[in-house]
Chains A and B, each alone.
Chain A
Amino acid sequence: MIESVIQLFSYPFFIRAFIVGILIALCAALLGVSLVLKRYAMIGDGLAHVGFGALSVALVMNWAPLYISIPVVIIAAFFLLQLSENSKIKGDAAIAVISSSALAIGIVVTSLATGMNIDVYNYMFGSILAVSKEDLQISIPLSIIVIILFIFFYQKIFAITFDENFAHAIGVKVKFYKIMLAVLTAITIVIGMRIMGTLLISSLIIFPALSSMRLFKSFRHVVISSAIISIVCFIFGIVLSYIFSTPAGASIVLTNLTCFLLFSLVAMLRGHATK
């Protein structure tokens, strides 16, 4: 088994997916803590669906998929953020409507163009074969930018996540940072959905943060733990998916679920111990 894992690293496609995957897992985990705490987790799901629609249209039209879907998803991110801010509209319902519509457009467009069904399957559930050399060239710098911006603005992101009004009152540009979070999330999702799949990418954002919050009670510890959990679960998931020939995205979600259950169990035992 170890041999087959070592052999795995001799495939260029696998190494590409591995590098992009680790970077994306890291980005998603960092952003995820704020998104989950601000109750924006569903925005990630909505963005993934919009990304799917954009990718499908780009493929049929023979445009470069990432160059089209990244700007489209960034625009969608602005829009969804606005929706969930506005209490007059039912934000969650609006997000659901937008995601299913985008998904439907994507599927109809691809089925109209013949012989694209395999690709649809791959986009829905992810594939490590999907990461091309060109994707790698865009993904690496973009994810490094996400990570650098997150670290650079960490204190402000904390302040806004904890108490938006207070942050605003002491002069933090709340709107700017929220838009930045949305844009970074959009980029992370578009890059990550090739491996994870449209339906599963949001779990990469939500799971590590949720698991960490079971055990850790300071923001910094939650962020660090999320980053580690996310990367470890990604590596385990992708290796297991190779050994058992299961789809990569789903395998990664399941390793994350296992981790979540494990952390919940430890938290429960610890709770009993202190009582």
Chain B
Amino acid sequence: MAAPISFAAMAERKTEEQPLKVVQLDAHVVLKIVKHCKEGFPTLVTGQLLGLDVGQTLEVTDCFPFPSRNDEEDGEGDGASYQLDMMRCLREVNVDNNTVGWYQSTVLGSYQTIELIETFVNYAESIKRCVCIVYDPQTSARGTLTLKAITLKDNFIKVYKEGGLTGEKMREAAISWKDVFDEIPINVHSSPLATSLLHSIEPDAVADSRDFARLDLSVGPLLEKNLEFLNDCLDDVVAEQQKVSFYHRNVARQQQQMQQWLQKRRQENATRRLAGEEPLPEEDPALFKPIPEPSPLDVYLINNQVDNYCQSLNHFGAQTLEKLHMLDGLHRARVSV
């Protein structure tokens, strides 16, 4: 008879095979993130997520904020001891003690930075799965909760770890700018106790603040800001493109020079051979150094950001159109009455 399979072994096997499908946030975690980001606004804040990695789901069961970094005297070691003290204290009251990632606030979804990627890679060294929750207080004030869970794609981390962030390696691994970030759907989970709590404190108002925010017609300032950011990004794209074309031009020029030099050397060698002398070597590595290729990572990040801004512009645009159509309908109805 086959040996019984232990639950531990089964759980282990599952986590190995299944990719991350869902990030599950506890209700109080969402509230904590919202509170911290709102209090910190307009400063961007971060905090740590604690939870459990269960098969396809990453359960985030608690979190704590990091002190903001603008205090100059706060050294690196201080931050680490803060983290350790906090986690020790939370463990004493039986909070899940595994780090599963971090959260941060953002302005209009501009979170794709090199620092983010470096943090991800740092985390990836100690924990298998790591997620970053991005919360946008500004768009959330418009009636829609804007929470995103992002991770880096495995392929990208692999290439990054091998130190191969050159254009060549990236192309070899077939990684385009779309293959850097991965967004994972978020579920909100409330314990039965929290649900009953909510039922007992729920406001019985017929309309809440979100309803007013949703019916607000003016998206002007938001669109403006978004377009401004997009503009900056496009400037960056152009600058990066110039770098790339500059690189290509340089490479072409170098190759031309190399050809000329080679031709000259061959002629020289031919005359030397006629004169019965030793020919000079036809390769001189010291003369032509390879020109460094601009890092593709910057371009990738900018592209991602441009894409993000375009998406949100589209989103806001569509939202406004919807509301305008509604208004039109309403007006017609009123006129006909």
Whether both chains belong to one complex is answered with no
Residues of B within 8 A of A (CB): none
Residues of A within 8 A of B (CB): none
